[in-house]
Amino acid sequence: MDWDKLLNDCVDFTQQLIQTPSMSFEEDQLAALIAAEMRLLGFDEVWLDEIGNVNGRLHGQDRTLPTLVLNSHTDHVDPGDPALWSSPPYAGEIVDGKIVGRGACDIKGPLAVQVYSMAALIRNGERPLRDVVFTGVVQEEIGGEGAKHWVENVDYEVALVVLGEPSSNNLALGHRGIVQMWLTLNGRSVHASVPEKGRNPNYKLAEFLTQLQARKGELRSHPVLGPTTVSPTIIEVDTKSTNVTPAWTRVLLDFRSASESSNSLQAFVRELVGDWPHTITDAWCAPGTPLADSDELIYGYYTPPESDVVARVKTAVARGMKREPALTSYQFATDGRYFVPYNLPIIGYSPADEAQAHTADENISIAMMAEALHGYVQLLKEF
């Protein structure tokens, strides 16, 4: 196999992907580019679904076996202020052995590696053991509608989903789940000149946030996926008048956990609030929707390190890379959380560095892409 040509073509494809902006809801042009590339490479089947997800299939030696799915997404976040970039965010320039550009890390470089690992077998006249499907889904960055549509409508049995989310060529076995709640603290509004006649909830919010900072370490930790974290993000009040104290103030609390439940988190917040009048609502639902009454643990996905699927993937990838990948977890959330109810095994494997995601001068190492191509090709041959 001509690995140098494979890598060069993969890098060129990555640059083309970066040079094709694809913000959420604007992925059509990128999907068309990916579909055209897969057809040119000789994929057995290429198709787009109703929501705009792009798919390509390579037939395996035994087509009765469940399918190996390589999953990436086609959207990216806004590049932000171009002045913060050392090169234009959509240029896809190569600097010091790295491809720089919005989406280089999250997730166009890894996407290209997934597509070209399948192309490697075609070029070498080989077939994977089982069918392999690449699926590039839309809207991952804003809630995952593409992944939801794919998993709800998939019409073939799935053996494993490999996520292209950044993992530094290690195997990511899961990530914490997300709970986002609005905590609203109610007060009594008055003219700002007579504050003693009202009840200003901003003081209570300050007290609450101080306690939250001091006691967040009491939240439980998962042995693999890590500790529960909480981040206050958005603060709002009911008024825009500068001479009125607010009737209420609210803060959005972003919890990440694999060891707490909706109910335990609400209990933790209520304990910190005490007897001050307040409400807790679901930040993802219509205003005023109560948070779920559930004692189920919150986590995105989790594939136990002792499982057979992890052992098989680890062995194949290690043989390809000529080094053993570490078993890790993601700090951020992925579309993998939508596959859990369908009992699909999930592992993340990608040459991108998680620290590069969503940053100015986002980049991906070409050397890491080369290593990942070897790992992916061996995975397709052995799994």
What is the arithmetic mean of pLDDT over 9-32? 98
What is the arithmetic mean of pLDDT over 63-84? 97
Cα distance between residue 279 and residue 78, in whole Å: 33
- Going by C-alpha positions, the residue among 12, 36, 9, 118 that lies closest to residue 70 is 118
pTM of the model: 0.87
Dihedral angle computed from the Cα positions of residues 333, 335, 337 and 340, in that order, rounded to the nearest 10 degrees: -160
Res. 299 pLDDT band, cuts 50 70 90: confident
pLDDT at 43: 98
Identify whether the C-beta of residue 99 lies closer than 8 Å to the C-beta of residue 7: no
On the question of pLDDT at 165 being above 90, the answer is yes
Name all domains of the chain by residue range, CATH numbers in brackets: 3-170+300-382 (3.40.630.10), 177-282 (3.30.70.360)
What is the arithmetic mean of pLDDT over 234-259? 96
On the question of pLDDT at 148 being above 90, the answer is yes
Alpha-carbon torsion 132, 137, 143, 147, what sign?
negative
Res. 318 pLDDT band, cuts 50 70 90: very high
Place of tokens 């939240």: 219
Cα distance between residue 211 and residue 373, in whole Å: 48
What is the arithmetic mean of pLDDT over 233-244? 96
- Tell me if residue 257 falls in helix, strand or coil: strand
Cα distance between residue 337 and residue 140, in whole Å: 11
pLDDT at 241: 96
Identify whether the C-beta of residue 153 lies closer than 8 Å to the C-beta of residue 56: no
In the chain, DSSP finds a helix count (H) and a strand count (E) of 8, 17
What is the arithmetic mean of pLDDT over 68-78? 97
pLDDT at 284: 86
Cα distance between residue 319 and residue 21, in whole Å: 36
| Residue 251 token pair | 């803060």
pLDDT at 166: 97
Res. 1 pLDDT band, cuts 50 70 90: confident
Cα distance between residue 370 and residue 109, in whole Å: 11
pLDDT digits (tens, 9 = 90+) for 94-112: 999 999 999 999 999 999 9
Name the percent of the chain lying above pLDDT 70: 100
Identify whether the C-beta of residue 188 lies closer than 8 Å to the C-beta of residue 249: no
Residue 92, phi then psi, degrees to nearest 5: 65, 35
Residues 6+ apart with CB under 8 A from 102: 18, 21, 76, 77, 78, 79, 89, 90, 362
